[in-house]
Amino acid sequence: MKLKTSVTLAQDVLAAIESVTREGESRSQVIERLLRESFAARERAAIDERDCELINRYANELNEEAIDVLGYQVET
């Protein structure tokens, strides 16, 4: 369900919106698309940050395991 709302935007923001408008896309559709893209990017960034924290938390243990595994390699 769509709800009608009114927003006031600075001229430079409106110009930026116009510059990324796709053919046949209304201003409302552009704003909705950009907001959805922004929300998705924020969610991805949060997931990436959590993943990085996990990797960093276990980095020493993972590095030691990698060194151990490399020790089993045979030179040919």
Centre a 10 Å sphere on the Cβ of residue 21 and count the other Cβ atoms it contains.
15
* All structural domains of the chain with their residue ranges: 11-70
**DSSP symbol at 75:** -
CB 21 within 8 A of CB 30: yes
Q: Which tokens go with 7?
A: 């927003």
Q: Is residue 76's pLDDT more than 80?
A: no
**pLDDT (tens digit per residue) in 11-62:** 999 999 999 999 999 999 999 999 999 999 999 999 999 999 999 999 999 8
pLDDT at residue 75 in the model: 77
DSSP character at residue 21: P
Q: Characterise 24 by phi-psi region: left (phi > 0), alpha (psi -120 to 50), beta (else).
A: left
pLDDT at 67 > cutoff 80: yes
pTM of the model: 0.70
